[in-house]
Amino acid sequence: MDIATILSILDATIRLSTPLLLACLAGLYSERAGIFDIGLEGKMLAAAFAAGAVAAVTGSAWMGLLAGMAVSLGTALLQGVAAITLKGNQLIAGVAINMLAAGMTTFLGQTWFGQGGRTPPLNEGGRFSVITLPFASELSGVPIIGPIYADLISGHYLLVYIGFIMVAVTAYVLYRTRFGLRLRAVGENPKAVDTAGISVVALRYQAVIITGLLCGLAGAYFSIAQGSGFGNNMTAGKGYIALAALIFAKWKPVPAMFTCLLFGFLDALQIRLQSARLGGIEIPVQAIQALPYVLTVILLAGFIGKAVGPKAGGVPYTKER
Amino acid sequence: MSQNGPMNPQRPETAAAFVPANGWAIELEKINRRFGDVHANKDIDLKIARGTIHGIVGENGAGKSTLMSILYGFYTADSGTIRVNGTPQAITDSRHALKLGIGMVHQHFMLVDNFTVLENIVLGAEDSGLIKPSLDRARKELNRLEQEYDLEVNPDAIIEDISVGQQQRVEILKALYRGAETLILDEPTGVLTPKEADDLFRVLETLRKQGKTVILITHKLREIMAITDSVSIMRQGQMVATLKTAETNPEQIAELMVGRRVLLRVDKKPATPGKTLLEVQNLVVADDMGVTRVKDVSFAVRAGEIVGIAGVSGNGQSELLESISGMRDQKSGHVLVKGEPLSLDGDDGAARARQAGLAHVPEDRQRMGLVTNFAEWENAILGYQDTPAYGAGPFLDIAAAKKAAADHIKLFDVRPANINLKSSLFSGGNQQKIVLAREMEQDPDVLVIGQPTRGVDIGAIEFIHNEIIKMRDEGKAILLVSVELDEIRSLADRILVMFDGVIVGEADPATATEGELGLMMAGINSKAAPRGLGIAEQGPLP
């Protein structure tokens, strides 16, 4: 395998990791606040559809991104009302969001665009284009560093860079700021937060809002950056993988980044391995496509050890007698 | 409210004209609070003098915690006035209470387990958006508070790694850091070892010396007598009396709490032990981590006697109990019931122990004694559901089970008398009665009881003690494990003291002093030759 092949797999790794990473960080905020979020998938899917649809109609990627974030935020707030204010079961609220998003996107897509649930293909302005970092072409001649900078680090969509910057931002917010301290506390022992005179409900809504916005970025990435237009069930379970990555990373931002890169790498490898042959027999493409998912399960089951999440996770907060 | 009988409570109004030297820190007037049908606080009047330690006593459910939660802003009162330092205040939330200088140490600590001490202290009292400056300031302030109040604790320790006593200090420091002038402590000694409780009382005395006001909620009369300046007694949501501690006595307080005369000492005849019913031979038991907790323990309990095992919590008593009752495998040794060796290995050890006539009241009724989500009648047969009395084959005879439950409730005066009520809705004392009734009514030959009155209020304690004595007089063998030395001394016919997994000595409750027992509990045996018992290494308490 030459360096160009390796670089291209790693390049694909970064591209494929980005939505996982954004969704994973999104989940981190709400789960750290004590709200289990199985609805990452649904929020991403809704955002992907909204971004694709608005970008197609307006011809502007930025409008698409805004629409994606707005819809995801609305969906997150809906889930928030169910889980926080109405004290419903968080798992069921999340599953409901996923089912709602799966059904609504296809239905609205067919009703509005009549293309079997797809949104129309996007023109140049409706999609984000890749960003070439400064000096990329000048440095490309330099051995080793040159190709790594020019091919691997430079030349990604804006959302990719946002995703990785968000890792540092999240780590800073979580461990260095008052908001982060309270966020971590409310997921562990909301009563301690309440008796310290801080509103548990307000804190949890703030977390849910951040989750919604980040899921919006992740969803938009599918339809208006990586892809060109929305397709049925475009997120293909990535929300669940992001959730798995979050657990694997034990709810910490930097490990979350590495986990998402690992899962992205498995995905990139899978694409590479399609049509690979093993001892003269062609491996069915479905088997290879299933590989990242299978490995996710194995990793989660075997390597993670005991994953102890935020202690108050999944429990609506009530001042009981 | 009928207040007949010999009691003569001093009504709070009579003291209205009196103003203490330092003024009133807190004045509550006609406080009312309802929870649905329950009138938890009825027209409560209470005044607390600044710079004193004021005790509030009452049975479980008397409304003490509700009243203090109202003062702390955790609940709001339906009606009534709160005056802090003479000024009327509407305390709407905890933040407001903190601002007025009222801090509270809750019964269940309000700490984030995976945070450091410092982070817990700063939480909610941060100075700015970034936490670094707050943490630095807190570290300095903590240093000062530690010296002033002798409250030593490592600021960088993680909460889950430090002892319960230290966690409580963190709670106190948290309140002081927020500038608390009045400190409310809700049942602070329930979770503490006797040594930790002594340390706490020293801290409270220092606080008083520094001019702080302390409100101590408890149901342990000893603590009231030992440390408070005055005491208020609550019963069934009402304030019954406020007395000067120096002018009252435990009997009077107990009577006011329960509403009738209570015998604080247990009345019992001398034991007439018969043949040996329970025998433990060379028992060795390890805990979940594989650490050996019971080290070669042997003893026997005879019919018609109560053998008490005393010791500081965590010296192997729990593992011993769990092993004898079939819940924990033993590494070696034997348990004999009526001379027959009992096989206790495997997951159904507890069922075999029951079949052999050994009943068990576990130490932690909520974790091991009850399924708190079950209705009362379901818990009334739990563990005996396979016996023919409650149905044949796979079917449950629900009518029989409910009848048994109703009988238990009647015999043990469980309140409320409702077999369909969820078990978690009963008070601690009534939950304990449910467990005791279930185990005692099976008519076992051997009864093994752990912490029979932990968290149980005075009236129920008296009842439970009498039931245990009654069992003894019926010729049962009773093994009693308790961390309450008073309880062991008043109930047991023989006391075995356990330290570091070994029985370090035996004492006669009639003659042994508290001091002697205390020394043994610390692993120092003045009477017996320690060599033969294998306690040569006298390390620090685990």
Residue B438, classed as helix, strand or coil, is helix
The residue to which tokens 């980040």 are assigned: A214
Task: Judge contact between B149 and B210, C-beta under 8 A.
Answer: yes
Rg of the Cα atoms in chain B = 25
Residue A192 near chain B (CB below 8 Å): yes
pLDDT the model gives residue A320 = 59
Q: Cβ A195–B113 below 8 Å, yes or no?
A: no
Q: And the tokens for B222?
A: 């000893």
Q: Cβ A192–B120 below 8 Å, yes or no?
A: yes
Could you tell me which residue, B538 or B298, shows the higher pLDDT?
Answer: B298
pLDDT digits (tens, 9 = 90+) for A114-138: 998 899 999 888 899 889 888 888 8
Q: Cβ A178–B115 below 8 Å, yes or no?
A: no
pLDDT digits (tens, 9 = 90+) for B216-250: 998 788 889 999 999 999 998 999 999 999 999 98
Q: What average pLDDT does chain B have? A: 87
Q: Does domain B1-101+229-262 have CATH number 1.10.8.60?
A: no
Sheet containing B292-302: order of strands: B292-302, B276-286, B332-337, B340-341
Does residue B536 register a pLDDT over 50? no
Rg of the Cα atoms in chain A = 20
Nearest 10 degrees: Cα torsion B486, B490, B492, B494: 80
Of B110, B114, B119, the CB nearest to A191: B110
Whole-angstrom distance, CA of residue B524 vs CA of residue B506 = 13
pLDDT digits (tens, 9 = 90+) for B311-354: 877 889 999 999 999 888 888 999 999 998 887 777 788 888 88
Residue A77 CA neighbour count, 13 Å, CB half: 10
Q: Which residues contact A258 (CB under 8 A, 6 or more apart)?
A: A249
Closest CA to A204 of A294, A307, A119, A77: A77
pLDDT the model gives residue B134 = 94
Does residue B541 register a pLDDT over 50? no
Task: Judge contact between A102 and A45, C-beta under 8 A.
Answer: yes
Neighbours of B510 (CB within 10 A): 8
Of B95, B113, B114, the CB nearest to A197: B95
Q: Cβ A176–B94 below 8 Å, yes or no?
A: no
CATH number of this structure's domain B276-366+445-533: 3.40.50.300
pLDDT digits (tens, 9 = 90+) for B252-273: 998 898 888 877 778 888 889 9
Whole-angstrom distance, CA of residue B282 vs CA of residue A296 = 50
Q: And the tokens for A252?
A: 């910490």
> Mean pLDDT lowest for which of A86-95, A156-165, B132-141, B364-373?
B364-373
Whole-angstrom distance, CA of residue A89 vs CA of residue A99 = 16
Distances in Å between the Cα of B342 and the Cα atoms of B282, B288, B337 are 14, 22, 7
Q: What percent of chain B has pLDDT over 90?
A: 55
Nearest CA in chain A to B38: A321
Peptide bond into B270 cis (omega under 30): no
Task: Judge contact between B293 and B316, C-beta under 8 A.
Answer: yes
Could you tell me which residue, A174 or B413, shows the higher pLDDT?
Answer: A174
Whole-angstrom distance, CA of residue B90 vs CA of residue B292 = 55
Does residue B527 register a pLDDT over 80? no
Residue A215 near chain B (CB below 8 Å): no
Residue A119 phi, psi (nearest 5): -100, 155
Q: Model's pTM, two decimal places?
A: 0.78
Q: And the tokens for B521?
A: 């509990």
Task: Judge contact between B270 and B475, C-beta under 8 A.
Answer: no
The arithmetic mean of pLDDT across residues B6-33, rounded, is: 72
Residue A301 phi, psi (nearest 5): -75, -40
pLDDT digits (tens, 9 = 90+) for B120-129: 999 999 999 9
Residue A306 near chain B (CB below 8 Å): no
**Angle between the N-to-C axes of helices B164-177 and B194-209, in degrees from 0 to 180, rounded to the nearest 10:** 20
Q: What percent of chain B has pLDDT over 70?
A: 94
Q: What letter represents residue B375's amino acid?
A: A
Residue B131, classed as helix, strand or coil, is coil
Q: Cβ A181–B123 below 8 Å, yes or no?
A: yes
pLDDT digits (tens, 9 = 90+) for B449-499: 999 988 787 888 889 999 999 999 999 999 999 888 888 989 999 999 998
Q: What is the pLDDT along chain A (321 residues), one digit of tens a residue?
A: 678 888 899 999 999 999 999 999 999 999 999 999 999 999 999 999 999 999 999 999 999 999 999 999 999 999 999 999 999 999 999 999 999 999 999 999 999 999 988 999 998 888 998 898 888 888 888 888 888 888 888 889 999 999 999 999 999 999 999 999 999 999 999 999 998 889 999 999 999 999 999 999 999 999 999 999 999 999 999 999 999 999 989 999 999 999 999 999 988 988 888 767 777 777 788 888 888 788 878 877 776 666 778 888 888 888 754
Query: How sure is the predictor about B57, in pLDDT bands with cuts at 50, 70 and 90?
Result: very high
> Mean pLDDT lowest for which of B493-507, B509-523, B527-541?
B527-541
Of B110, B115, B122, the CB nearest to A195: B110
Q: What letter represents residue B149's amino acid?
A: Y
Distances in Å between the Cα of B441 and the Cα atoms of B252, B383, B412, B438 are 34, 13, 10, 6
Whole-angstrom distance, CA of residue B438 vs CA of residue B411 = 11
Nearest CA in chain B to A186: B112
Residue A202 near chain B (CB below 8 Å): no
Does residue B8 register a pLDDT over 50? no
Whole-angstrom distance, CA of residue B523 vs CA of residue B503 = 10
Nearest CA in chain A to B63: A321
pLDDT the model gives residue B483 = 82
pLDDT digits (tens, 9 = 90+) for B70-110: 999 888 999 999 999 999 999 988 889 999 999 999 888 89
Q: Cβ A197–B123 below 8 Å, yes or no?
A: no
What DSSP state is assigned to residue B423?
Answer: G
Positions of CATH 3.40.50.300 in chain B? 1-101+229-262, 276-366+445-533
